Amino acid sequence: MLLLAGCSGRQSALDPAGEEAEAIYGLFIVLVIGGGVVWLAVTALFIHSARQRQAPWTAEHANRLIAWGGVAFPSVVLLLLLGYAVWLMPAIRPWTPAEARTGAIEVTGEQFWWRIRYPALNGQYAFETANEIRLPLGRPATFLLKATDVIHSFWIPSLGGKMDMIPGRTNILTLTPTRTGIFRAPCAEFCGASHAYMAFSVVVMEESDFDTWSRRQVEGHPATPEKGRLLIQRHGCLGCHALRGSEPRGGTAPDLTLIGARQSIGAGALANTPDNIARFIRSPSSIKPGAKMPDFDMVPESDIAEIARYLGGLK
């Protein structure tokens, strides 16, 4: 029971919160029970034959045992399992019609963060965000999975199976969340020094909350004369990062719009607090080895604190 207690949580395939994850969970249970039954049968057979030490078997008897126990039995079991897996496949990897691509969320793996683009009706994207995907409850979400540098892997254990993100290719995955909540999704393919610090959060929300959130994302943060915002411009943060509602807008680093509302910063590396944002600005390399953002420890401490306070408040 203590061991089983470890199976729940926000990053567990054994605590499904989506249709595809439920199908995989069902497969897991069938395999565990099936494997248990085969193990018990073999153990019972072993005990039975060990107790009945009779005269040696004839060659014919032994051949029959090999034919039935070594050929027929495994063939039937494997065929049944294959049939079950083929039957289950459409539930795990739903066929995605070409039209669904236009309404799909584009997720690109970068070293070491996630670029996320939400669709607009005109085939363009409505807004970009980073390291956090929000989804409306009960609606199938299609993801176009890409990578810019090396192979990463997209995996939300609570919602479904994983799929590789390969440079030069677009893989498609559809997931249907069935429960609201916050889930964690790790990068599931070794991609470099900070592979272990590359995760994103998935927030499944009621449809109306999701609509409010998307509207706020599109609006961004209209310019205000706040000190933190002026400092962000003065220190050149917007050469790489974007803040919707601000000009200029960089596109090479994670989009910072509504960053204060995210579950974490640095793609799952740190809890989202102004102190941690300041720590990250000062020295990203000490938190995420191999990150492309340089250390900004030459920026005065009071400016970093002001910027961190401003970013933390963007909710």
**Least distance CB 287 / ligand CUA (angstroms):** 16
Stretch that binds ligand CUA, among 12-20, 80-88, 183-191, 241-249 (CB under 6 A): 183-191
**Least distance CB 266 / ligand CUA (angstroms):** 13
Stretch that binds ligand CUA, among 4-12, 190-198, 269-277, 292-300 (CB under 6 A): 190-198
Residue in 104, 175, 198, 277 binding ligand CUA, rule: CB under 6 A: 198
Comparison of 187 and 237: residue with beta carbon closer to ligand CUA: 187
What residues between 92 and 151 interact with ligand CUA by CB under 6 A? Answer: 109, 112
Stretch that binds ligand CUA, among 24-32, 68-76, 92-100, 184-192 (CB under 6 A): 184-192
**Least distance CB 191 / ligand CUA (angstroms):** 3
**Least distance CB 187 / ligand CUA (angstroms):** 3
Residue in 191, 205, 243, 253 binding ligand CUA, rule: CB under 6 A: 191
Comparison of 144 and 231: residue with beta carbon closer to ligand CUA: 144
Comparison of 105 and 278: residue with beta carbon closer to ligand CUA: 105
What CA–CA distance (Å, rounded) separates 18 from 157? 9
Q: What DSSP letter does each residue of the chain carry, written as one string?
A: -HHHHTT-STT-TTS--BHHHHHHHHHHHHHHHHHHHHHHHHHHHHHHHHH---SPPPHHHHHHHIIIIIIIHHHHHHHHHHHHHHHHHHHHS----GGGGGGPEEEEEETTEEEEEEE-TTSSEEEEEESEEEEETTS-EEEEEEESSS-EEE--TTT---EEE-TT--EEEEE-B-S-EEEEEE--S--STTGGG-EEEEEEE-HHHHHHHHHHHHH-------HHHHHHHHTTGGGT---TTSSS---SS---TTGGGSSEETTTTEE--HHHHHHHHH-HHHHSTT-SSPP-TTS-HHHHHHHHHHHHT--
Residue 145 structure tokens? 């999975």
Contact flag: residue 189 with ligand CUA (CB under 6 A):
yes
Backbone angles phi, psi at 196, to 5 degrees: -70, -15
What CA–CA distance (Å, rounded) separates 204 from 183? 8
Residue in 190, 207, 239, 297 binding ligand CUA, rule: CB under 6 A: 190
**Least distance CB 136 / ligand CUA (angstroms):** 26
Contact flag: residue 167 with ligand CUA (CB under 6 A):
no
Residue in 195, 221, 244, 279 binding ligand CUA, rule: CB under 6 A: 195
What residues between 2 and 31 interact with ligand CUA by CB under 6 A? Answer: none
Contact flag: residue 267 with ligand CUA (CB under 6 A):
no
Stretch that binds ligand CUA, among 15-23, 189-197, 211-219, 302-310 (CB under 6 A): 189-197
Q: Which residues contact 273 (CB under 8 A, 6 or more apart)?
A: 312
C-alpha dist (Å) from residue 278 to 114, 129, 262, 268, 310: 21, 20, 16, 16, 11
Comparison of 109 and 160: residue with beta carbon closer to ligand CUA: 109
Residue in 187, 205, 243, 259 binding ligand CUA, rule: CB under 6 A: 187
Q: Which residues bind ligand CUA (CB under 6 A)?
A: 109, 112, 152, 187, 189-191, 195, 198
